[in-house]
Chain A
Amino acid sequence: QVQLVQSGAELKRPGASVRVSCKASGYTFTSYYLHWVRQAPGQGPEWMGWINPNTGDTTYAQKFHGRVTLTRVPSISTAYMELTWLTSDDTAVYYCTRDADPGGIYVRFDPWGQGTLVTVSS
């Protein structure tokens, strides 16, 4: 079955960087856009960006521009999200999710990874 499995929880100091991985299985990795979405405690989801796993092309929410980098390694069907210059406001659960129609952006997010809790604290 289609599945996204993310790396484990992280505890980071303010000013540090974090990298979260998202390993895909059960489908052709390069055929579907991957999105990253975060959710702060008690808040709604917040879209961060997408990556075309085939070409590596990315689009980011302007709020995160310059701090977030999305990459992928097709040979191992894995995508990565790196966020730099962390502050306490970045404490959230970070999700990867697949756009469920191939080849484009349809805002049809299915499935989702299990989420990775990133805690930023001194």
Chain B
Amino acid sequence: KAGVTQTPRYLIKTRGQQVTLSCSPISGHRSVSWYQQTPGQGLQFLFEYFSETQRNKGNFPGRFSGRQFSNSRSEMNVSTLELGDSALYLCASSWDPAGVSYEQYFGPGTRLTVT
């Protein structure tokens, strides 16, 4: 079974631009969560989608948004990029049979650099 895939793996953007990152979960997994990882802050939860609905949201500004499609694939978008948005963005999927996400499986991440 293929793992979680994320595209692109690396991205360089300029301040003020916007960016869209993509995540394809493991086949059969319906929950997709997004995390931001920086050296000083560790893994910070952005949001979680289940059945095309945002189920949980972390403490990030409205510039960070996401969505999930009917095939469970998910995208996250960051508008008006700031230098501090430079990070590794990780997507994780889980099967979620009981309505609660656990045993999350991570993709390789997208390394975003904002200049």
Chain A bound to chain B: no
Partner-B contacts on A (CB < 8 A) = none
